[in-house]
């Protein structure tokens, strides 16, 4: 490989929340030797092109208010076409400085208090927070678990849309926490339901940059010929290029009426100038870092194979869900632990952090999510700790 993903980066130097001794102690009661596997970012040094772009911008010595230039729009348009075969235009793009906050603005813009928002569960908890924090009604359609793989329950979703006052559907593609990549047929059927019941489909595609077989991923607008008129696509380089601290998320909205509604909400909330380093970082990511991303994705895929093999050989009661994307392993541990408190104690004893399944709104109990987007030596040490702790407790 051209890039060294085995290099262990001291992320504590950068005041990284995931590796902060204070945060780890507060959240998990663990010390400086803990390996954090909870927060969804990667432990690799960023692409050299991104680093160079930020250093170059920093050297200017001016960090005042900035704006979004045409180089940004061209980079976004080219990336979406080249990488995902999605045709978009400049007017459809809006930098929104964080997907989580954007979901709040979307809920505020397109629903009224008491109206319904639908999600699939298990789901990233901020999906639910965006609904409930704004006094809207949350509806959950559980994913069907068949042979350790998730499927959409179209009958259940239609029943909810038909009988409840659903205005917005927040859909995760690829899915977090499982890494499931939905097929074109599945997305088409979902889009059909939203069009039938006049539901705005908000598609979170922030994990799409890390897909192990890129041909498997179908962006929302390529799955249905009409859904672009009744949808918002949330995009971010944060996961693929590890830019979470720069607030580089954006939305793509083709329908002018839908777009103006959100822009009005953003204006009322005074969402204005971007982070001074965000625009050059996105441009460098999309224009100069594709090879880096491809190699990082291959490295993470090998990490997944290592994790799956480890549990199969050492702790077969733990079932790692086959992932098609991202750097988050979703593991069924219901045959090992009677409850989540027992699970938490296990990982604390192993000196590791993780995310318990109940965090994902509902239908995740008995699962654990661990972040494996890290150098292999770090992952191997974490797995060694899991094995040692398991043998001490259960053997």
Reported residue count of the chain is: 395
Q: What is the pLDDT of residue 143?
A: 98
Q: Is the pLDDT of residue 270 over 80?
A: no
In tens, the pLDDT along 233-254 reads 999 999 999 999 998 899 999 9
Q: What is the pLDDT of residue 267?
A: 87
Quote the percentage of the chain above a pLDDT of 90.
Answer: 94
Q: E strand or H helix at 116, and its extent?
A: strand 116-121
72 contacts 295 by C-beta, under 8 angstroms: no
Tokens of 214: 């890129």
pTM for the whole structure: 0.96
**Local structure of residue 297 (DSSP, 8 states):** H
Q: What is the pLDDT of residue 311?
A: 98
Tokens of 246: 């720069």
On whether the 53-288 domain is CATH 3.40.50.880, my answer is: no
Tokens of 283: 């441009």
Spatial distance between the Cα atoms of 284 and 368, rounded to a whole number of angstroms: 34
Domain residue ranges of the chain, discontinuous segments joined by +: 11-46+290-394, 53-288
Residue that the structure tokens 């350790």 belong to: 148
Domain 11-46+290-394 - what CATH class?
alpha beta
321 contacts 148 by C-beta, under 8 angstroms: yes
In tens, the pLDDT along 149-171 reads 999 999 999 999 999 999 999 99
Q: Is the pLDDT of residue 221 over 80?
A: yes
Q: Torsions phi, psi of 264, nearest 5? A: -65, -40
Average pLDDT over residues 386-390: 98
Q: What is the pLDDT of residue 1?
A: 77
Residue that the structure tokens 């965006």 belong to: 130
Q: Is the pLDDT of residue 271 over 80?
A: no
Q: Is the pLDDT of residue 61 over 80?
A: yes
For helices 278-288 and 70-84, angle between their N-to-C axes, nearest 10 degrees:
40
Tokens of 91: 């007017």
Q: Is the pLDDT of residue 395 over 80?
A: no
Q: Is the pLDDT of residue 272 over 80?
A: no
Cα angle 150, 156, 161; round to 5 = 125
197 contacts 92 by C-beta, under 8 angstroms: no
pLDDT band for position 97 (50/70/90)?
Answer: confident
Spatial distance between the Cα atoms of 100 and 204, rounded to a whole number of angstroms: 10
Q: What's the whole-number average pLDDT of the chain? A: 96
Spatial distance between the Cα atoms of 113 and 132, rounded to a whole number of angstroms: 10
pLDDT band for position 273 (50/70/90)?
Answer: confident
Average pLDDT over residues 130-153: 97
Average pLDDT over residues 75-91: 97
Spatial distance between the Cα atoms of 190 and 98, rounded to a whole number of angstroms: 25
Spatial distance between the Cα atoms of 220 and 95, rounded to a whole number of angstroms: 19
In tens, the pLDDT along 313-341 reads 999 999 999 999 999 999 999 999 999 99
pLDDT band for position 394 (50/70/90)?
Answer: confident
Average pLDDT over residues 62-88: 95
Long-range Cβ contacts of 383-391 (<8 Å, 24+ apart): 383/306, 383/307, 383/310, 385/35, 385/350, 385/351, 385/352, 386/315, 386/350, 386/352, 387/310, 387/314, 387/315, 388/350, 389/346, 389/349, 389/350, 390/314, 390/315, 390/346
Residue 293's alpha-carbon distances to 40, 323, 380, in angstroms, are 17, 18, 22
Q: What is the pLDDT of residue 14?
A: 87
For 133, the 3-state DSSP assignment is: coil
CA-only gyration radius of the chain, Å: 21
Q: What is the pLDDT of residue 329?
A: 98
In tens, the pLDDT along 175-200 reads 999 999 999 999 999 999 999 999 99
């Amino acid at each position: 490989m051209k890039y060294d993903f085995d290099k262990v980066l001291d992320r504590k130097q950068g005041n990284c929340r995931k590796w902060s001794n204070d945060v780890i102690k507060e959240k998990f009661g663990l010390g400086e030797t803990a390996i954090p596997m909870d927060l969804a970012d990667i432990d690799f040094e960023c692409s050299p092109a991104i680093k160079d772009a930020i250093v170059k911008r920093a050297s200017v010595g001016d960090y005042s208010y900035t704006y979004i230039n045409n180089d940004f729009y061209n980079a976004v348009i080219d990336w979406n076409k080249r990488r995902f075969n999605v045709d978009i235009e400049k007017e459809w793009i809006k930098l929104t400085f964080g997907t989580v906050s954007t979901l709040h603005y979307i809920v505020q813009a397109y629903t009224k208090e008491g109206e319904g928002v639908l999600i699939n569960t298990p789901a990233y908890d901020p999906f639910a927070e965006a609904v409930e924090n704004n006094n809207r009604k949350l509806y959950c359609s559980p994913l069907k678990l068949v042979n350790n793989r998730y499927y959409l329950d179209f009958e259940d979703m239609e029943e909810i849309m038909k009988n409840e006052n659903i205005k917005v559907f927040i859909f995760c593609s690829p899915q977090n926490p499982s890494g499931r990549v939905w097929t074109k047929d599945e997305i088409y059927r979902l889009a059909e339901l939203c069009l039938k019941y006049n539901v705005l489909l908000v598609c979170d595609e922030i994990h799409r940059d890390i897909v192990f077989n890129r041909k498997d991923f179908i962006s929302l607008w390529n799955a249905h010929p009409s859904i672009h008129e009744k949808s918002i696509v949330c995009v971010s380089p944060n996961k693929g290029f590890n830019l979470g601290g720069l607030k580089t998320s954006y939305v793509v909205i083709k329908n002018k009426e839908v777009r103006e509604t959100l822009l009005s909400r953003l204006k009322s909330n005074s969402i204005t100038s971007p982070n001074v380093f965000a625009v050059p970082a996105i441009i460098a990511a999309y224009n100069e870092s594709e090879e880096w991303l491809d190699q990082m994705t291959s490295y993470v895929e090998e990490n997944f194979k290592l994790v799956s093999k480890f549990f199969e050989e050492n702790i077969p009661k733990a079932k790692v869900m086959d992932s098609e994307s991202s750097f988050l392993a979703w593991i069924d541990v219901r045959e090992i632990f009677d409850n989540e408190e027992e699970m938490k104690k296990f990982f604390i004893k192993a000196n590791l952090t993780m995310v318990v399944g109940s965090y994902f709104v509902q239908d995740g109990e008995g699962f654990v999510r661990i972040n494996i987007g890290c150098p292999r030596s770090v992952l191997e040490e974490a797995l060694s700790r899991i094995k040692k702790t398991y043998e001490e407790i259960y053997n």
